[in-house]
Amino acid sequence: MTGRIDPLGAAGLSFYSKVSASISHEIKNSLAVLNESAGFLEDLTLMAKKGRDLDINRLETLAGSMLKQVKRSDAIVKNMNRLAHSLDDPWTQTDLNVLVELIRTLSERTTVTRGFKVTAALPDSPVMAETNPFFLKNLIWLILDFAVNRPGNAKAIEIRPEKSESGARISFTGFANLTQVALNDFQTEPVRRMLELLNCRLQADENQGMIQLSFL
Amino acid sequence: MTDKVLIVDDEQDFLDVLSERLKTRDMNVSTASSAKDAIKKIDAESYDAVVLDLMMPEMDGLETLKIMKEKNPDLQVILLTGHATVEKGIQAMKLGAMDLIEKPADLATIVERIKQAKTEKIILVEKKSEERIRDILTRKGW
């Protein structure tokens, strides 16, 4: 093999793989609860056949738990579908509120596993930007990954999409020990290529522990 | 004697239903929804088996397993995971896990592994007692 793998394509594939792995894990967890709940219903039925009274409260709790898991799985699959469809149109008018909330939800398992709470402060009105939705999601995912891997005690990250003079920006606050040097190190070739493609710039505010992703 | 088991998982609904089902099979079940809580429980009490979720917030299952085995090398830990990769399986076995079961799991498999864990624990304890007795006898020159 002599061909060089395109770093942007490889980064996109890696992002998609990681999200898929996380989603399938979530679905498996939900299936595990459903599996045990169905098994417990079977246990109760067998006990009832042997003459034991059916506990209506237990049945009610089980039904509630199963419905909750079905709703949870449905939401997970809907998000997976939304991510898959972000490849449909490479360049489109996008509401950053919707995009940020989707990627926050998709990254939740990863961030929570690292002990982080990521919140999205979404304005009441849409924040529109002409962008490539897939690579913007990929970039936000990488910024969150950078955030949860920073040394320090900060465990809460806030993402805020905002309108700006140039159009729009997304602020990430709550970074521990943020330095311009660290942000420069974060900007590897795939990240630089994403910024170039999206026509965006990253800036660090060391004092406020904030990174701003501005649309130019 | 009933089997004494600790189930560790951050999914509260999973903990509730699995523990109820194991209780109806005459098991003495305790639960923990975090690694920290689980470690506290194994410090305070002795269990025949621990059923531990591999992916948990703050401290994952492998890290928890390592700490548990350092504290109590005889403790029998069965790992539960959404996705069992070969690498994770090898890592888990190297750290002393008794088995790795993929979610959703058949309850009969979980029960069987818990019973097996109890037997293995008894064998380990008996072996250690025998070694201690042999050591005493050797030292006394009998």
Instruction: Please judge whether A43 and B83 are an interchain contact, meaning their C-beta atoms are less than 8 angstroms apart.
Output: no
> Measured between alpha carbons, how far is A83 from A97 in angstroms, rounded to an integer?
15
Query: In Å, how far is A166's CA from the nearest CA of chain B?
Result: 39
Q: Which CATH number fits domain A92-215: 3.90.79.10, 3.40.980.10, 3.30.1640.10, 3.30.565.10?
A: 3.30.565.10
The C-alpha of B31 sits at a distance from chain A's nearest C-alpha, in angstroms, of 15
pLDDT at A192 over 70: yes
Chosen from A23, A24, A25, A29 to mutate, greatest number of chain B CBs within 10 A: A29
Q: Respond yes or no on whether ipTM tops 0.90.
A: no
Question: Could you identify the residue written with the tokens 């709940």?
Answer: A37
Which residue ranges make up each domain of chain B? 4-140
User: Does pLDDT of A16 surpass 90?
Assistant: yes
Contacts of A117 in chain B (CB under 8 A): none
- Collect all residues with Cβ–Cβ distance below 8 Å to B89 and sequence separation of at least 6: B100
Q: Which two tokens stand for residue A208?
A: 């406020």
A35: chain B residues, CB-CB within 8 Å = 103-105
- In the predicted model, what is the mean pLDDT of residues A149-160? 86
Subunit contact A31:B107, Cβ cutoff 8 A = no
Q: Inter-chain contact B57–A21, Cβ cutoff 8 Å? A: no
Higher pLDDT, A153 or A160: A160
Phi/psi class of residue A108: alpha, beta or left (left: φ > 0; alpha: ψ in -120 to 50)? alpha
The pLDDT, as a whole number, for residue A84 is 93
Q: What is the pLDDT of residue A198?
A: 95
Backbone φ, ψ for residue B55 (5° rounding): -110, 105
What pLDDT is recorded for position B57?
81
Residue B57 to residue A113, Cβ atoms within 8 A: yes
CB contact under 8 A, A113 and B56: yes
In this structure, which topology does domain B4-140 adopt according to CATH? Rossmann fold (3.40.50)
With bands split at pLDDT 50, 70 and 90, how would you rate the model's confidence at B42? very high
Cβ–Cβ pairs < 8 A, chains A and B: 65
* Nearest chain A alpha carbon to B84: A25
- What is the spatial order of strands in the sheet that A156-164 belongs to? A117-120, A156-164, A167-173, A210-215, A200-205
Mutate to test the interface with A, among B8, B11, B14, B33 (most CBs of A within 10 A): B14
Question: Would you state the pLDDT for residue A152?
Answer: 76
The answer to whether B58 faces chain A, any CB pair under 8 Å, is yes
